[in-house]
Amino acid sequence: MAYVHSIWPLAAVLLPLLATVPIMLSGRSPNLRESWTLLAGGGMFAIVASMLPTVLAGGGFVLTLAEVVPGVPIQLRVDALGMFFALVASFLWIFTSVYSIGYMRALEEHDQTRYFASFAVAIAATIGVAFSANLLTLYLFYEVLSLSTYPLVTHEQNAEARASGRKYLTYILGTSIGLVLPAMLIVYQLTGTLDFTHGGILAGKASPATLSLLLLLFVLGFAKAGVMPFHGWLPAAMVAPTPVSAFLHGVAVVKVGVFSILRVVFDIFGPDLLRSLDLGVALTYFVSITILFASLVALTQDNLKRRLAYSTIGQLSYMILGAGMVSAAGMTGGVLHIAMHAFGKITLFFCAGAIYVASHKKYISEMDGLGRKMPITYAAFFLGALSIIGMPPLGGFLSKWNLLVGAVQSHQMVLVAVLLGSSLLNAAYFFPIIYRGFFAPAPAGEAREGIREAPLFCLLPLSVTALCSLLLFFYPTVFLQLVQRALFP
Amino acid sequence: MTTSNLHIYILAAPLLGAFAVNLLGRLSRRWVAPLTLGVLGYATIAALVVLARVLRDGTISYTVGNWRPPFGIELVIDPLGALMLLLISAVALTATFSSLTSIERELPGREHLFFTMYLLLIAGLTGLALTGDAFNLYVLLEITSITTYGLIAMGRGRAPLASFNYIIMGSIGACFYLLGVGYLYLLTGTLNMADIARILQGLQETAALATAFAFILVGLWIKMAFFPLHSWLPTAYTQAPSGASVMIAPLMTKVTVFLMIRVIFSIFTPTYAFFHHPGVQAGIVWAAALAIVCASALALAQRDLKRMLTYIIVAEVGYMVGGVWLANTQGMTGAILHIVNDALMTLCLFLAAAAIIYRTGSLGFDSLQGLYRRMPITMAAFTVGAFSMIGIPPTAGFFSKWYLLLGGIEASQWGYVAALVFSSLVNAVLFFRIIEIAYFRTGEAGHGHGHAVVRVEEAPLMMLAPLVLAALALIAVGFGSGPLVNGVIRLAIPGGF
């Protein structure tokens, strides 16, 4: 694949990063401040999209920033897999920004300047992860993302936020320093490089035992992917304002974790190596536990955002499951699920936030009959839920179908059972919410006259992302092509 | 003044400056600041020129008064020495801006006395980077130590006691070193390092040489506060006036680590030091691992920012001693890079501590509440320094840790690797504890929706500017660590090692 030297990958990362300066300077004028955010969001998406045709045609872009360690520069590279993720993240950031404006202003939140500035750093780091050319660069942006999201998670600045912030950093920073850093150094020691290379760099460099240990260190170390037992930070992080939960803990942060694991699986280990050592199978069984267990826990959660968080934990492991199958359909399904789940889950979080803005309700048991007051929100929630469950005609069906085909192709009937069982559980924890919203009688004696749909700034983004989930079923071509380019160039 | 002998003027400038500050400072305090800054500014620029020259032309040897070595005093400026020269003068210059401001408040009327000793200390440190003579090294080490005792004793409260404690330990360390040099003199009849190394080639089996090596090493370990010989450091550095600790904390221990490298390379040769006595090399790496773990654990127990930082310094000494004794290129690269990085991060954090204490009067954890609102720029720079200590890229601290870990993996010293990772995690806990306290508000207003306006009260510009500079330097050195390692540090490590 031919990579062209270009400034554009850096521009995509720098634009939101630099936008923090005018955002912080215009703290006194909220409208101006939010204009900067939207401008940066639109600009970044335009830059990412402008690189899309080249990537689809089999090209790419590269830019070396600094040669920091022999053989491992800080380098940005746009390839199909990175483009896939960057496209999803930068597109959804625009809607998150719009939604943030509606949500934060409706609730008259404090410290909005800090909020928008941290958000801009977080998206810059996310795009940086997507465009990293090697493991060191990825690690750099991964850590920047961890740290920039700390002020967002602890935004409330009360005792609960403080405890959650601690938990968040303990899990995320503890695993990345304690597990990923040593693993990365061992890989560097073995191979002398950390460059993401199609087909991997580790083949024939170490014993099966070492390789298994390394894979374990990476899968657990990238704790943002929420693989059990390092998933506890995600429900705790739900204390953050809902746009943060929607974008960061539905899309950016968690998928950075999955993306990092996929990069390591595809481009450091390589599917062939995984297959030859049966490590792929081990990986699929390992994450199957997370898939089933998280879905079961989700059933028990009454707090809507926590239920969504456990749902996310389960769905994230789908993506790793797909990669572990090392079959064409399985890997396609795994990568595709990054996008499909992103659109579905962000819709669900947006809806949860809209319900909170409109009614100040957090618990599902209090939401009886709310759907009749907020039909648009609940309709969008319905579409998002269908997509996560994997029903046609929504985008989620495509990824789950590919995963199923992959499981059948590799004769892993256990995995087929896991996938089907989990989908049933997904339905079991989503449908009651919708049913209660539309059909359950409103609790007696509660004044509900004031409750109506959330402000337009909230309603518009969630409608668009819900429709996108629908459209992705019919027009998945761009994403499918990118997956094909990424996996089978 | 010819430029060819620039290096000697780097040493002479602070020495003469010390006298000038004392004399003119008596007449008027206004002389102190321009003289100190002028002298150190000159030293920094000259050090830059000397480093460029050494990198271009190779090691410079200079005989003071034209007395031929081994009889005369020889100054040797190799790439490592030149790097140290630049580090010392640049860090000292940066620290001085802050120092001038805080000393004006802490020691009113005694600025000229303080800065006389301050400049003498810098002259001593500069001399240590330059000297090629084992006995001169002792003399210069004592110059730095005695001036440090004096500077620390000028602090408030129990500072004289802390200083006395340091004098006892420091003198023991100096005696050990001197005893070691005595053995070497008996064996070789010379004090010039190159000369000793040449004569020692045939004497490697003697027990006297091993004794000399052990004495010198332990002496230096006491001076650099290598755990468990560290007990003097935390109290001494905590009690010192902040104007003194911003310069002493970044430089003293690091220069002593440099001296250890110098002694190993220039007197004993790495082959002798690392491989002649089986088990010693691995044993010292284990001791370093233990030092890192214990000092980090002790840091966790502190409830005062400056005291916590001093224990981190002790842990970092363990990093560097371990890195040197890994006895491979990666570890040595990491140790030398860490000398630079640790000096800069300690500088950054102590400058932040000085700025905070200037405004709040205390560094107890309770007095740090809400600091992100009161002193946003100070805390931003502090955060960069903290990230560097934790080892988060792209700050400088990550890259030296990278080489140190790589060296540990290459040498299969898993205890040391585990200790480094453990210490990074402890540092994360330590600093996020501070960040959390400073980020969240005081107890009663903690519900978060209050709109109480907190007045921004930043430290004066003279303290803020060097702090921001140090924080930016951490990021710049991080990005520039590739060229730094390839262009300077690789040259500093002798061939075949």
Is residue B426, in this structure, part of any structural domain at all?
yes
Token reading at A482: 């990118």
Strand ranges in B380-486 using DSSP code E only, listed in sequence order: none
Mean pLDDT of B53-71: 78
pLDDT for residue B453 = 57
Distance CA B382, CA B377 (A): 8
Q: Any idea how long chain A is? A: 489
pLDDT for residue B5 = 76
Whether residue B452 is predicted with pLDDT greater than 60 in this model: the reply is no
Is residue B424, in this structure, part of any structural domain at all?
yes
Distance CA A185, CA A172 (A): 19
Distance CA B387, CA B381 (A): 10
User: In this complex, is the C-beta atom of A27 within 8 Å of any C-beta atom belonging to chain B?
Assistant: no
Mean pLDDT of A209-232: 91
Q: Which of B424, B416, B417 is nearest to B390 (CA)?
A: B424
pLDDT for residue B447 = 43
- Are B203 and B187 in contact by the 8 Å Cβ rule? The answer is yes
Distance CA B23, CA B26 (A): 5
Which among B413, B417, B434, B439 is the top mutation candidate for probing chain A, defined by the most A β-carbons within 10 Å of its own β-carbon? B439
Instruction: Using CA coordinates, name the residue in chain A closest to B481.
Output: A68
pLDDT for residue A252 = 87
A66 contacts B482? CB cut-off 8 A? yes
Query: A55 exposed, middle or buried (CB, 10 Å; 0-12, 13-18, 19+)?
Result: buried
Instruction: Using CA coordinates, name the residue in chain A closest to B421.
Output: A178
DSSP letter at A251 equals I
Distance CA A318, CA A344 (A): 14
Residues A390-429 pLDDT 10s: 888 888 899 999 999 999 988 888 999 999 999 999 999 9
A189 contacts B402? CB cut-off 8 A? no
A139 contacts B405? CB cut-off 8 A? no
A70 contacts B481? CB cut-off 8 A? no
Alpha helix ranges (H) inside A26-158: 30-56, 80-106, 112-130, 135-153
pLDDT for residue A400 = 92
| CB-closest option in A68, A154, A186 to B481 | A68
**Distance (Å) of CA B98 to CA A147, A322, B149, B357:** 29, 57, 20, 12
User: In this complex, is the C-beta atom of A210 within 8 Å of any C-beta atom belonging to chain B?
Assistant: no
A193-207, A270-284, B429-443: which range is least confident on average? B429-443
Q: How many CB atoms are closer than 10 A to CB B468?
A: 17
Type and span of the H or E element at A384: helix A375-389
Is residue B467, in this structure, part of any structural domain at all?
yes
Is residue B357, in this structure, part of any structural domain at all?
yes
pLDDT confidence tier of residue B89, bands split at 50, 70 and 90: very high
Is residue B90, in this structure, part of any structural domain at all?
no
Residue A132 CB-half CA count within 13 A: 27
A65 contacts B448? CB cut-off 8 A? no
pLDDT confidence tier of residue B3, bands split at 50, 70 and 90: low
Type and span of the H or E element at A266: none
C-alpha radius of gyration, chain A, whole number: 21
Whether residue B143 is predicted with pLDDT greater than 90 in this model: the reply is yes
Q: How many angstroms away from the CA of A271 is the closest CA of chain B? A: 27
Residue A384 Cα to chain centre, angstroms: 15
Mean pLDDT of B193-209: 85
Beta pairing class for A72-78 and B74-77: unpaired
Instruction: Using CA coordinates, name the residue in chain B closest to A66.
Output: B479
Q: How many CB atoms are closer than 10 A to CB B462?
A: 17
Whether residue A370 is predicted with pLDDT greater than 90 in this model: the reply is no
| CB-closest option in B390, B436, B482 to A162 | B436
Alpha helix ranges (H) inside B225-301: 232-239, 242-262, 270, 280-300
Whether residue B442 is predicted with pLDDT greater than 60 in this model: the reply is no
Residue B219 Cα to chain centre, angstroms: 17
Residues B275-303 pLDDT 10s: 888 888 999 999 999 999 999 999 999 98
pLDDT confidence tier of residue B359, bands split at 50, 70 and 90: confident
Q: Which residues from A are below 8 Å from B450, CB to CB?
A: 110
Q: Which residues from B are below 8 Å from A185, CB to CB?
A: 402, 405-406, 409
A139 contacts B446? CB cut-off 8 A? no
Residues A237-254 pLDDT 10s: 888 888 888 888 888 899
| CB-closest option in A140, A151, A169 to B394 | A140
pLDDT for residue A368 = 83
pLDDT for residue B451 = 47
Distance CA B470, CA A455 (A): 46
Distance CA B331, CA B411 (A): 9
Q: By percentage, how much of chain B surpasses pLDDT 90?
A: 51
C-alpha radius of gyration, chain B, whole number: 22
Q: Which of B62, B54, B56, B53 is nearest to B78 (CA)?
A: B54
A70 contacts B393? CB cut-off 8 A? no
User: In this complex, is the C-beta atom of A143 within 8 Å of any C-beta atom belonging to chain B?
Assistant: yes
Q: How many angstroms away from the CA of B225 is the closest CA of chain A? A: 27
Q: Which residues from B are below 8 Å from A156, CB to CB?
A: 448
CA quadruple A5, A10, A15, A16: dihedral positive or negative? Answer: positive
B417 contacts A182? CB cut-off 8 A? yes
The total domain count for chain B is 1
Phi, psi of B300 (to 5 degrees): -60, -25
Whether residue A310 is predicted with pLDDT greater than 70 in this model: the reply is yes
Coil, strand, or helix at residue A38?
A: helix
User: In this complex, is the C-beta atom of A7 within 8 Å of any C-beta atom belonging to chain B?
Assistant: no
**Structural domain boundaries in chain A:** 281-489
Is residue B346, in this structure, part of any structural domain at all?
yes
Q: Which of A303, A319, A316, A147 is nearest to A235 (CA)?
A: A303
Q: Which residues from A are below 8 Å from B421, CB to CB?
A: 177-178, 181-182
Token reading at A207: 């014993």
B440 contacts A162? CB cut-off 8 A? yes
Distance CA A67, CA B306 (A): 35
- Are B396 and B474 in contact by the 8 Å Cβ rule? The answer is yes
Q: Which residues from B are below 8 Å from A181, CB to CB?
A: 391, 405, 421, 424
Among A residues 145-204, those touching chain B with beta carbons less than 8 Å apart: 147, 151, 154-159, 161-162, 165-166, 169, 173-174, 177-178, 181-182, 185-186, 188-189
Distance CA B404, CA B289 (A): 12
Mean pLDDT of A154-164: 85
Token reading at B161: 């006691």
Q: How many CB atoms are closer than 10 A to CB B48?
A: 15
pLDDT for residue A294 = 92
Whether residue B445 is predicted with pLDDT greater than 60 in this model: the reply is no
Domain region containing B284: 276-497
- Are A64 and A423 in contact by the 8 Å Cβ rule? The answer is no
Q: Which residues from B are below 8 Å from A117, CB to CB?
A: none
Is residue B54, in this structure, part of any structural domain at all?
no
Non-local (6+) Cβ contacts of A175 within 8 A are A220, A221, A222, A223, A230
pLDDT confidence tier of residue B323, bands split at 50, 70 and 90: very high
User: In this complex, is the C-beta atom of A24 within 8 Å of any C-beta atom belonging to chain B?
Assistant: no
Q: How many angstroms away from the CA of B449 is the closest CA of chain A? A: 6
| CB-closest option in B390, B441, B482 to A67 | B482
Q: Which residues from A are below 8 Å from B483, CB to CB?
A: 67
Non-local (6+) Cβ contacts of B488 within 8 A are B51, B55, B79, B83
pLDDT confidence tier of residue B11, bands split at 50, 70 and 90: confident
Whether residue A448 is predicted with pLDDT greater than 80 in this model: the reply is no
Whether residue A119 is predicted with pLDDT greater than 70 in this model: the reply is yes
Type and span of the H or E element at A60: strand A60-69
Q: Secondary structure of A288-311 in the HEC alphabet? A: HHHHHHHHHHHHHCCEHHHHHHHH
Coil, strand, or helix at residue B163?
A: helix
pLDDT for residue A214 = 92
- Are A234 and A312 in contact by the 8 Å Cβ rule? The answer is yes
Whether residue A105 is predicted with pLDDT greater than 70 in this model: the reply is yes
Q: List beta partners, residue B75.
A: B62, B131
Instruction: Using CA coordinates, name the residue in chain B closest to A72.
Output: B482
Whether residue A372 is predicted with pLDDT greater than 60 in this model: the reply is yes
pLDDT for residue B456 = 77
Distance CA B439, CA B437 (A): 6
Coil, strand, or helix at residue A158?
A: coil
For every residue of B353-372, DSSP letters joined together read HHHHHHHHS--BGGGGTTHH
Is residue B321, in this structure, part of any structural domain at all?
yes
Whether residue A131 is predicted with pLDDT greater than 80 in this model: the reply is yes
A169 contacts B448? CB cut-off 8 A? no
Instruction: Using CA coordinates, name the residue in chain B closest to A65.
Output: B479
